[in-house]
């Protein structure tokens, strides 16, 4: 079990380090965008304002956004902080956990990593428990309790309950499970 936990921590560490670069790129891109809206667009607005030419609709909207950011930057910063805090605390609630877990299972790159991580935890923990003489139904109960994702936990409990109620094998139960 200790080796499996070390291996799991290694995988989690690799996942986190793999997500660091994309997170940095997104954050840097947002900072560059805000910088352009706050510093460059106002200068361009003055240049085009002096010509008297009417700007295209999308350019007008960009100018309006730039103006809003300049005039209400405190509201924008407070809004971002409020959004970040509410997102964080919502993620600690039962409903928030369910929603975040569903999002993780739907996002293009993250979904593959999340699915592989949950399947790896399911298979390795089940194998360890079964090799040490734990009965399958009890092993599924234990594995469901240590599975991090709500929907995988629900599926494992569904397998267990169906095996108990119908007497089917695990493979039959997993093959027919559709949630």
- Predicted pLDDT at 179: 56
Q: What is the pLDDT of residues 121-179, one digit of tens each?
A: 899 889 988 998 999 999 999 999 988 899 999 999 999 998 888 888 888 888 876 65
Convert the pLDDT of each residue in 71-119 to its tens digit.
998 999 999 999 999 999 999 999 999 999 999 889 887 788 888 888 8
Decide if pLDDT at 65 tops 90: yes
DSSP the chain: -HHHHHHHHHHHHHHHHHHHHHHHHHHHHHHHHHHIIIIIHHHHHHHHHHHTPPPPHHHHHHHHHHHHHHHSHHHHHHHHHHHHHHHHHHTTSHHHHHHHHHHHHHSHHHHHHHHHHHHHHHHHHHHHHHHTT--HHHHHHHHHHH--SHHHHHHHHHHHHHHHHH---HHHHHHH---
Asked if pLDDT for residue 12 goes beyond 70, the answer is: yes
């Amino acid at each position: 079990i200790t080796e499996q936990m070390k291996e799991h921590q290694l995988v989690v560490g690799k996942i986190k380090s793999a997500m660091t670069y994309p997170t940095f790129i997104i954050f840097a891109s947002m900072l560059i965008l805000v910088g352009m809206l706050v510093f460059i667009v106002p200068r361009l607005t003055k240049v085009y304002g002096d010509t008297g030419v009417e700007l295209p609709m999308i350019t007008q909207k960009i100018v309006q956004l730039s103006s809003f950011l300049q005039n209400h930057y405190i509201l924008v910063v407070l809004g971002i902080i409020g959004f970040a805090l509410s997102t964080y605390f919502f993620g600690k609630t039962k409903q928030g956990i369910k929603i975040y877990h569903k999002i993780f299972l739907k996002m293009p790159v993250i979904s593959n990593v999340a699915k592989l991580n949950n399947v790896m935890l399911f298979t390795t923990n089940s194998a360890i428990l079964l090799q040490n003489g734990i009965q399958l139904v009890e092993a599924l109960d234990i594995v469901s309790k240590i599975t991090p994702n709500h929907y995988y936990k629900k599926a494992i409990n569904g397998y267990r309950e169906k095996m108990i109620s119908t007497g089917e094998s695990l493979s039959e139960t997993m093959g027919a499970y559709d949630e």
